């Protein structure tokens, strides 16, 4: 399929035009701000109810928040490090391995959104 870098929103479905808003770099800071706001709200919500849990750590306000943030970051960094050791070129298992071959076209219906 041809790659058409030019955006032509008028030809997109209405839902596509709505979702496109999220891909606009100009809106990135708004999305980030909204996410940070939601995070703050979930953290503050911790003080509004009586906590219960099986382990002592669960009673610490914001435990899940901290655990989620720290472990997610650790996961990404660990995966990035792992990549250094296990990354190989796409044709590592040969030219005929499925990682290299293109999917048989006759099985697909590669149609552009504005094709007749």
Partner 1 sequence: MMMLNLMPTAFIFIAAAFLLLALPKGPLRAALLLLVPLVAGAQVWSLPEGTYGQFDLLGLTLDTMRVDKLSRIFALIFCIAAFLGNLYAWHVRDTVQQLAALLYAGAAIGAVFAGDLITLFIYWEATAITSVFLIWARRTEGAYHTGMRYLIIQITSGVILLAGTALLYRETQSIAFGAMTLGSLGTWLIFISFGMKCAFPLMHNWLQDSYPAATVTGTVILSAFTTKLAVYSLARGFAGTEILIYIGAVMTLFPIFFAEIENDLRRVLAYSLNNQLGFMVVGIGVGTEMALNGTASHAFAHILYKALLFMSVGAVLFRTGTSKASELGGLCRTMPRTAVFCLIGAAAISAFPLFSGFVTKSLILDETANEHYPIIWAVLVFASAGVLSHSGIKIPYFTFFSHDSGLRPKEAPVHMQLAMGITAFLCIFIGVYPDTLYALLPYEVEYRPYTMAHVVGQLQLLCFALLAFAVLMRSGIHPPEIRAVNLDVDWIYRRFLPRILGGASIGLSQLWAGLSRALHETLESIVAFLFRVYGPDRGVAKVLPTGSMVVWIAILLGLVLVVNYI
Residues within window 36-95 making contact with partner 1, judged by CB under 8 A: 36, 38-39, 42-43, 45-46, 48-49, 51-55, 58, 62-73, 75-80, 82-83, 85-90, 92-93
* Shortest distance in whole angstroms from residue 21 CB to partner 1: 10
Question: Is 26 among the residues that bind partner 1 (CB under 8 A)?
Answer: no
How many degrees, rounded to 5, is the angle at CA 15 between CA 10 and CA 16? 55
- CA-to-CA distance for 103 and 107, rounded, in angstroms? 8
Question: Is 30 among the residues that bind partner 1 (CB under 8 A)?
Answer: no
Number of residues that bind partner 1 (CB under 8 A): 82
Q: List the one residue from 13, 27, 30, 60 that touches partner 1 (CB under 8 A).
A: 13
How many degrees, rounded to 5, is the angle at CA 70 between CA 58 and CA 44? 50
Q: With contact defined as beta carbons under 8 Å apart, do 9 and 17 qualify? A: yes
- CA-to-CA distance for 100 and 95, rounded, in angstroms? 6
* Shortest distance in whole angstroms from residue 61 CB to partner 1: 10
């Amino acid at each position: 399929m041809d790659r058409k870098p030019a955006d032509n929103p008028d030809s997109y479905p209405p839902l596509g035009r709505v979702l496109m808003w999220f891909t606009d770099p100009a809106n990135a800071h708004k999305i980030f701000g909204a996410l940070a706001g939601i995070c703050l709200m979930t953290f503050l919500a911790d003080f509004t109810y009586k906590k219960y849990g099986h382990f002592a750590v669960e009673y610490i306000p914001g435990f899940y928040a901290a655990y989620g943030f720290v472990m997610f970051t650790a996961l990404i960094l660990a995966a990035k490090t792992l990549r250094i050791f296990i990354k190989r070129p796409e044709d590592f298992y040969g030219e005929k391995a499925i990682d290299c071959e293109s999917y048989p076209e006759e099985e697909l219906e590669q149609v552009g959104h504005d094709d007749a």
